[in-house]
Structure 1
């Protein structure tokens, strides 16, 4: 079971940076009070749905940022383990 795993750290970090930039650019705000003053049930429901969509969008951005941070931390840990193993092998 000796399969080699190669990670291109720079490529992973670049991809995470691009995802973070896209998440930051993702606009979660929607129109507030569509047709304000209108008493139609449809308008009320649209406003409720817009509020829910805005909350979901913000939650999505937060989850994406957390996942990106997790990936960066994992990559850093892999780098450290790789360096430790390399140093151990060289010192023999």
Structure 2
């Protein structure tokens, strides 16, 4: 039982904060009216692709934010468990 998991909470918090900021800064929007006076089928297809890609990027952004929140919650649970174990260990050793 001599194995130890070392968590550097400040580094984890920094990484999660950077992930959250990057996810929130993601701009999934595309120009809506790229066709203008152009009536080519290619423009219709490109517009459709842009709409689908925008929806995909919005889903990805939401997933990143949810992932960051879940990771943050896991870190907080681990931090609380560490604190509890530290308190229990200290009281047992006294």
1:84 partner SS: helix
What is the count of residue pairs matched by the alignment? 92
Q: Which residue of 2 aligns with 1:57?
A: 57
Spell out, residue by residue over 1:3-50, the C-alpha distance to the aligned partner (whole angstroms, 9 max, x if none): 111001111011111111111111111011222343321111000000
The alignment yields a C-alpha RMSD, in angstroms, of 1.2
Q: Mind listing any 5+ residue stretches in structure 2 that lack a counterpart?
A: none
Q: TM-score, normalized by length of structure 2?
A: 0.90
Q: Mind listing any 5+ residue stretches in structure 1 that lack a counterpart?
A: none
Moved over 2 A (4+): 36-39
Q: TM-score, normalized by length of structure 1?
A: 0.92
1:91 partner SS: helix
